[in-house]
């Protein structure tokens, strides 16, 4: 059987009924990786022996009648190379961590290990998750399976592309300003950023700690719910982890309300920067939602024009702090001293040379921007002001959710752009986050699902955003939408 575009739920059902073994599934996807990975630069590390060992253990447990096996036991998963694992390198797409192997598993990894999910490998990403196109990776740019000359989006571009190429049925990404949802839209798959704190960040190499969130990526919303049942929940190892009891995401998918209120953000749908084809796809989505029981009304988020400016002050400031540990003194890359030259301050020289050689251009840009905004004399004018704007942004969302249950709009202003098109223009690159960063600034759950294709065949994504902790409702409505349109994954041309 061809499994490359089967949903994780379908594979799970076949495994549970013993119609196929975890080893057979693992071998199938390993063969796909061997055949297609080089063309699209998706996986940066694959350990076939480890994958097959994990799959064999699941088969043995299932044959022995182990009743504690979870629904996803034996379903392979791809992992963004930003999550710490003991049995594979965690490179962060950077020269600094090129050979780093973590001494511990992150909480999400530990939960998937306990659930019996073999990982196919680590996927490509922008360096330290800083980028929107997977072009800043030390391993080179990732390529979109829908058009190899176009970007996968980022920073979780490898995780999205591996699904689009049929190299895994499920993937894990991280989302700081849209890094799950934007590549999901570009690659024609589904991606979910949970409420901030729903999923533990322990074992995730930090970019911007108040914005980062781990989330699943898959073909179907049902698969996202299955993954959330595994990876979410309170973690005492993460001080930002929410103590709230997690809902049964999969069990609640069929409980979407018969009538619900959908808000369309005026500032988004009327934006001059919104591609006409993307806008038409969103309007068609709204028509489908009306047939599903939605009362569609217009809402306003007046401070949405400040989303990108506020984000690109707060995120670099936090990155400047988080990445200060990468200095060559503790672990990872260290620059060699200059031969025949004696320095008055060899330690400072080692720091500066190591950082200059170890970090890529985009990481340096954000560190310098954040350090400047945090410096004496500028803290109040930039960082503090951005935090005040962040509060106004959250208040905009709170007021909107007094009148609606969910917000629906474009995930991205455009379809996937060509590799190299925006890499030298950071402002244009940052504007691709125009509709996604708001959810991170406000800590909201947000989902992107495919809603059409452009005239040249590139995927378009629609975004659903809910109140904090309304993760289940967001997934319910996304699931109902996919049922209404009869959504099935469409194979990418792989050309």
Sign of the C-alpha dihedral computed for residues 249, 253, 255 and 261 taken in this order: positive
Cβ within 8 Å of residue 108, ≥6 positions away: 83, 172, 199, 200, 203, 204, 214, 231
Cβ within 8 Å of residue 255, ≥6 positions away: 476
Q: Which residue out of 7, 12, 80, 232 is catalytically annotated? A: 80
Q: Which residue out of 21, 94, 133, 179 is catalytically annotated? A: 179
Of 244, 251, 380, 389, the C-alpha closest to 312 is 389
- Is 155 one of the catalytic residues? yes
DSSP H or E stretch at residue 119: strand 119-123
Please give the backbone phi and psi of residue 100, each rounded to the nearest 5 degrees, phi first.
-80, 130
Cβ within 8 Å of residue 279, ≥6 positions away: 269, 410
d(CA 321, CA 315): 10
Q: Which residue out of 155, 190, 232, 454 is catalytically annotated? A: 155
d(CA 198, CA 240): 9
d(CA 448, CA 217): 10
- Is 80 one of the catalytic residues? yes
Across 467-492, b (16+ Cβ under 10 Å) vs e yields: bbbbbbbbbbbbbbbbbeeebebeeb
- Is 179 one of the catalytic residues? yes
CA angle 181, 165, 207 (to 5 degrees): 35
Catalogue the E-assigned strands of 346-436.
406-410
Active-site amino acid positions: 80, 155, 179
């Amino acid at each position: 059987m061809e499994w490359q575009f089967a949903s994780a739920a379908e594979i799970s059902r076949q495994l549970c009924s013993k119609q196929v073994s975890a080893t057979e599934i693992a071998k199938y996807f390993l063969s796909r990786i061997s055949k297609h990975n080089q063309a699209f630069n998706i996986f940066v590390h694959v350990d076939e022996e480890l994958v097959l060992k994990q799959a064999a253990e699941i088969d043995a447990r299932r044959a022995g009648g182990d009743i504690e096996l979870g629904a996803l036991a034996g379903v392979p998963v791809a992992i963004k190379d930003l999550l710490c694992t003991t049995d594979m390198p965690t490179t962060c797409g950077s020269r600094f961590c090129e050979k780093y192997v973590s001494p511990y598993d992150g909480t999400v990894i530990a939960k998937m290990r306990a659930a019996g999910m073999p990982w196919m490998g680590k996927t490509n990403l922008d360096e330290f998750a800083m980028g929107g196109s997977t072009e800043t990776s030390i391993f080179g740019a990732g390529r979109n399976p829908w058009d190899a000359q176009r970007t996968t989006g980022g920073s979780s571009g490898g995780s999205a592309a591996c699904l689009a190429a049929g190299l895994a049925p499920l993937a894990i990404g991280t989302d700081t300003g849209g890094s799950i949802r934007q590549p999901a839209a570009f690659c024609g798959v589904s991606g979910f950023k949970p409420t901030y704190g729903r999923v533990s960040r322990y074992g995730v190499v930090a970019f911007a700690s108040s914005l980062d969130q781990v989330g699943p990526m898959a073909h179907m919303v049902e698969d996202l719910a299955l993954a959330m049942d595994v990876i979410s929940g309170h973690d005492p190892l993460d001080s930002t982890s929410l103590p709230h009891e997690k809902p049964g995401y999969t069990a609640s998918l069929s409980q979407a309300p018969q009538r619900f209120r959908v808000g369309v953000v005026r500032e988004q749908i009327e934006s001059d920067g919104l591609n006409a084809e993307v806008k038409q796809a969103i309007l068609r989505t709204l028509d489908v939602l009306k047939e599903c029981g939605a009362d569609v009304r217009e809402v306003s988020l007046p401070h949405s024009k400040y989303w990108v400016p506020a984000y690109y002050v707060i995120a670099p400031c936090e990155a400047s702090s988080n990445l200060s540990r990468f200095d060559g003194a503790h672990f990872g890359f260290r620059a060699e001293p200059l031969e025949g030259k004696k320095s008055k301050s060899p330690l400072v020289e080692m720091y500066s040379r190591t950082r200059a050689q170890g970090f890529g251009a985009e990481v340096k840009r954000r560190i310098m921007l954040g350090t400047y905004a945090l410096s004496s004399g500028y803290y109040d004018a930039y960082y503090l002001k951005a935090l005040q704007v962040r509060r106004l942004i959250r208040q905009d969302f709170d007021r909107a959710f007094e009148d609606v249950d969910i917000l629906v709009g474009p995930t991205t202003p455009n379809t996937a752009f060509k590799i190299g098109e925006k890499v030298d223009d950071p402002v244009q690159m940052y504007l691709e986050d125009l509709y996604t960063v708001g959810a991170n600034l406000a800590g909201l759950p947000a989902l992107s699902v495919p809603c059409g294709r452009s005239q040249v065949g590139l995927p378009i994504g629609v975004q659903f955003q809910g109140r904090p902790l309304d993760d289940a409702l967001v997934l319910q409505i996304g699931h109902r939408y996919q049922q209404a349109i009869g959504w099935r994954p469409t194979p990418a041309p792989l050309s």
